[in-house]
Amino acid sequence: MIGDLGAADATALAALVAAGEVTPSELLDAALAAVEERNPALNAVVLLQEGVARKAIAEGLPQGPFRGVPFLIKDLGAEAKDFPSHNGSRLFANTVYGQDSSIFTRMKATGVVTFGRTTSPEGGVGAATEAAVYGGPTRNPWGLEHTSGGSSGGAGAAVAAGIVAFAHGSDGGGSVRIPASSCGLFGFKPTRARLPDGPYAGEGWAGMAIDGFLTRSVRDTAVMLDACEGPDLGAPYVAPPLGQGHAAVISRPPRRLRVGLCDTTFTGEPIHPEVAEAVRAAGRVLESLGHIVEPARPRADVPMMMRAWTDIVGVGTALSIRSKLGDRPPRPDEVEGVGRGAWAYAQTLHPTRYLEAVGQIHTFGRQMARFFQPDGGQGPDILLSATLAEPPAKVGRFNHDTEDYVGYRVGPNGIFAYSPFCAVFNASGQPAASLPLGWSKAGLPIGVHLAAAFGQDELLIALCAEVERATPWAGKRSPMAG
């Protein structure tokens, strides 16, 4: 029964609750039993708060679209007064918050039963989740020797293992889409500022970071996005308004679209052949649905963007460390190697570099906008690529031992070589999604990536739903999900 409950999507579980076929307490029991059974092998769920969850059920859950469905929030952001956080770091272990964040308040209003957090790498930096504060790496339910991705790696592993039907994540350089690709899930990054950041922040990483969700179905993501979207009080800027909303548009296909297909990196380097074939296969699916698919690569300065991203995140990491330690350097027992390297690297940057890097990010966003909408309107509506350049990496490859922060990010064997697609759309602010459409010969998931022009979230999620109907993936369960 545990596996059956965990394998359904959240919408289906909420329908069972609404029909009286199962109670919120029974679903919570099943989720907690799944944690006990599966989490020791995964190391994905932490900081359990069963008492908080039981109390929420006893006091009466909101009559929202996911009433009674067990839920987990990422151990980074999603500040909540009843859910202390390590933020993926020994330096910030057991942080307690005085009030709920806007995003948590909106998620809670959907009726979910939040009972814990999921692991994240220190500082949210990296394509794997192996933080020292959790005592070991987070592993992939499809193959325990492989990473579940990062930085929402715990969320991806928990959903793929059937512990919960969906979970909160966040994405500053692919941190929802990378775990989605690694774990065979759907991950959607909205347009910049579509979801609230307050009151603890105005923006994350110069606007490149945003919350999101790891789900089995497009409909779960669509409904949760509708519940959470819109600015909160004092937001420094807002996303373009939606038309009908995400959930409304997924019920019917979008108009026929121009799709640009890129089966290399965006700078023309080859990617793993199994991944490239998954991209081409997705192109054939889109053609069968009537869309026009043609080869395309963005005409944008990706290396400039990657270096600017690295500098912005390096400064952000140093600022976070400084908030706890002042001006003294972090010790190895406080901060892992990558974080110490980022702190040291930030000290070498000219005082004007941060704003210069932000300006380069903005320049890059304009370059991407011209690619999607050039003169005459003949650019693609959608850009199709891989999510990652290869199948999920082995555990240990992207741990945080090294102090070479720049090499970790932009070196020949660094994160950007492994994940050359995702951060592009954090920098440009465009909506982008990873769909679980491919599988390696070793049986590991391969994500295929779709991105749309800035503000075109509804167009993108409608296309994702059309592809889901044509190539349903919800029935594909990891060995741990039962």
Question: Which residues are annotated as catalytic?
Answer: 74, 151, 175
Helix, strand, coil distribution of the chain in percent, nearest 5 = 40, 15, 45
Euclidean distance between the first and the last CA atom of the chain, given in angstroms as a whole number = 9
* Host H or E run for residue 202: none
Q: HSE (CB half, 13 Å, CA atoms) of 344?
A: 15
Beta strand segments in 172-276, E = 186-189, 210-215, 258-261
Contact 243, 226 (CB under 8 A): no
Contact 78, 211 (CB under 8 A): yes
Beta strand segments in 58-165, E = 70-74, 113-118, 139-140, 143-147
Contact 408, 341 (CB under 8 A): yes
d(CA 373, CA 381): 8
Contact 344, 402 (CB under 8 A): no
